[in-house]
Amino acid sequence: MNKRLKHTVAAVLALGTLVATATAVAQQAPKPEQLIKWRQSAYQVIAWNTGRVKANVDGQYNKEDVIKAANTIAALANAGMGSLYAPGTETGKGWKETAVKPELFTDKKAGEAAAAFNKEANELAKVAVGGDVVAVKAQLGKLQATCKGCHDDFRKKD
Amino acid sequence: MNKRLKHTVAAVLALGTLVATATAVAQQAPKPEQLIKWRQSAYQVIAWNTGRVKANVDGQYNKEDVIKAANTIAALANAGMGSLYAPGTETGKGWKETAVKPELFTDKKAGEAAAAFNKEANELAKVAVGGDVVAVKAQLGKLQATCKGCHDDFRKKD
């Protein structure tokens, strides 16, 4: 093989590797619309489970049901939902148009709001194990306050 | 108060209690469309997190990321999603028209499929803590087989 041909072959091989790598990355990175759909879904699952805890403290209390609900909320709080707010997801349609305000991507209060939600969700999972209705109700209130705070600051009104 | 009036008052009070109770139950029980939306959301969250585990075993492995994803899947598997298939949710629209087949509500294989998913999801959460990529990949395969089995039997094709 002459020198020029060698260089050409090497260049083609290098290009092939680049294309393959780019393809792999493209396959792995979910599209913004997918990320928006996932985060909308995650909040629905959180709403389902906070609603379950509320129904228990307001009505017939079932300790096991509250533990399951609180564990699901805590798992989502710890899941790393921040990755669902990747660049490119400031606008767009998941199940529906995102209601996120642009401030969420720039205001450092957003991180604090997420940390507060995380803290109260983990605390609810702990309190649920105790099975004390009054304590669970109080902790649910603290958790819901973090939901409301974040909605007020970073979610457009319907 | 004469006897007849007393009876009338008692009957009206009893009726009032009945109405109040029925109202409270109605307020607590989410509508079928809401239940369908929640279960569609739950499967999206599961898809998000199985996809995360797959991206880790196929690419750069991050043990903590896999643990978070596996814990979220397990929490949902243990959450009691069966309650989202309450009577009245055989048809209807959540985020979109439900794709569930009527057989899910009558075939006892549905319960077995749910139990299999539950078992493999809990096992994945355990294996994730070990951080062994080969073991996690194998366990993810077992989990995904339970997803596919249930989809084949109980979910209409798109």
pLDDT 10s per residue in chain B (158 long)? 566 666 666 655 555 555 555 545 545 689 999 999 999 999 999 999 999 999 999 999 999 999 999 999 999 999 999 999 999 999 999 999 999 999 999 999 999 999 999 999 999 999 999 999 999 999 999 999 999 999 999 999 87
Counting as low any pLDDT under 50, the low residues of chain A are 23, 26
* CB-closest option in A37, A68, A76 to B44: A37
The 3-state DSSP class for residue A89 equals: coil
Same domain, A1 and A71: no
Name B157's Cβ contacts closer than 8 Å, sequence gap at least 6. none
- Mind telling me how many Å the CA of B136 is from chain A's nearest CA? 18
Chain A residues in contact with B76 by the CB 8 A cut-off are: 45, 72, 75
Q: Which of A27, A65, A72 to mutate to test the interface with B (most CBs of B within 10 A)?
A: A72
Q: What is the chain A residue with the closest CA to B52?
A: A28
- Mind telling me how many Å the CA of B6 is from chain A's nearest CA? 31
DSSP label at residue B135: H
The pTM (predicted TM-score) of the whole model is: 0.84
Same domain, B45 and B60: yes
Chain A residues in contact with B45 by the CB 8 A cut-off are: 38, 41-42, 45, 76
Same domain, A119 and A42: yes
ipTM value for the complex: 0.83
* CB-closest option in B42, B80, B84 to A68: B80
Same domain, A63 and A116: yes
> What's the pLDDT score for residue B23?
47
Domain membership of residue B5 as a residue range: 1-30
Q: Do A72 and B74 touch (CB under 8 A)?
A: no
Same domain, B101 and B147: yes
Same domain, A75 and A150: yes
Same domain, B22 and B57: no
Same domain, A40 and A116: yes
Same domain, A102 and A123: yes
- Mind telling me how many Å the CA of A1 is from chain B's nearest CA? 35
C-beta separation of A117 from A38 below 8 A:
no
Same domain, A99 and A147: yes
- Mind telling me how many Å the CA of B28 is from chain A's nearest CA? 6
Same domain, B58 and B77: yes
CA B72, B78, B79, B83 dihedral sign is positive
Report how many domains make up chain B: 2
Tens digits of per-residue pLDDT, B62-76?
999 999 999 999 999
Residue B109's Cβ-count burial label (10 Å; 0-12, 13-18, 19+) is middle
Provide the CATH number for the domain around residue A127.
1.20.120.10
| Alpha-carbon span A54 to A77, nearest angstrom | 18
Buried b (16+ CB within 10 A) or exposed e, A128-153: beeeeeebbbebbeebeebbeebeee
> What's the pLDDT score for residue B77?
97
Residue B131's alpha-carbon distances to B28, B62, B120, B137, in angstroms, are 42, 9, 16, 10
> What's the pLDDT score for residue A26?
46
